[in-house]
Chain A
Amino acid sequence: SAVISQKPSRDICQRGTSLTIQCQVDSQVTMMFWYRQQPGQSLTLIATANQGSEATYESGFVIDKFPISRPNLTFSTLTVSNMSPEDSSIYLCSVEDREETQYFGPGTRLLVL
């Protein structure tokens, strides 16, 4: 299975600022996903990020608020822009391997004050 790391693991930010979350994979993968999760609750998909194409955003999520980069097959970033307390959440990246299984990073815990 792929080994995925995320930076930062947690952060406390002021409203109106932006935070960029990094996701690094130890192998080349085509499909990467960004999720949001409230503690103890289910996952909500933000967007799918494939290398070489624009990210595809789910309903309720827009590129201006959550810009995503996917410069190569092992790396992606998610930026949470102009943050408000409602953005406080856990942000997870995942990758899909060739056997159609998603593996997840450890997550980034974000608190916006």
Chain B
Amino acid sequence: AQSVAQPEDQVNVAEGNPLTVKCTYSVSGNPYLFWYVQYPNRGLQFLLKYITGDNLVKGSYGFEAEFNKSQTSFHLKKPSALVSDSALYFCAVRDISNYQLIWGAGTKLIIKP
């Protein structure tokens, strides 16, 4: 069965430090991987995706993610965190059989000044 895991419920980072939000997946075939962000009381916003090509994908707001096939991971990263990055982050993988997104449980990112 296809699945996505976000092993950390919450990640705390000091402002200015690098941040990583972890995501691992289990799919059959080539994965389509996505990151979304949800700010408080807001809808989900698309950050970036990997379908094919370069393993390092750059997205909105200075975020990037690295696709690692051997480790089946797609961790979200940013070199220098901002307080405004504090939000709920979701990793998702596209189920090629029915085009639906399979969602991780979400990781709450808290950036402290």
Contacts and interface: CB of A to CB of B under 8 A. Distances in A.
B90 A43 contact: yes
A48 interface: yes
B44 A104 contact: yes
What's the interface size class on A, roughly? 20 to 34
B90 A31 contact: no
Name the residue in A48, A104, A105, A106 with the highest tally of chain B Cβ atoms < 10 Å from its Cβ: A104
A4 B45 CA distance: 11
Nearest to A4: B43
- Judged by DSSP, the binding face of B is strand
Interface stretch (B22-30, B62-70, B77-85, B96-104): B96-104
Name the residue in B32, B45, B46, B108 with the highest tally of chain A Cβ atoms < 10 Å from its Cβ: B46
Contact of B43 (A45, A100, A107): A107
B108 A40 contact: yes
Contact of B42 (A31, A43, A94, A106): A106
Contacts of A59: none
B14 interface: no
Given A31-B99, A96-B99, A100-B94, A42 B43 contact: no
Nearest to A108: B43
A101 B101 CA distance: 10
Interface residues of B, number: 21
Contacts of A104: 36, 43-46
Contact of A103 (B32, B46, B103): B46
Interface of B: 32, 34, 36, 42-46, 49, 51, 88, 90, 94, 99-101, 103-106, 108
28 contacts: A1-B46, A31-B99, A40-B88, A40-B106, A40-B108, A41-B106, A42-B90, A42-B104, A43-B44, A43-B90, A45-B100, A45-B101, A48-B99, A48-B100, A92-B43, A96-B99, A100-B94, A101-B34, A101-B46, A102-B34, A102-B46, A104-B36, A104-B44, A104-B45, A104-B46, A106-B42, A107-B42, A107-B43
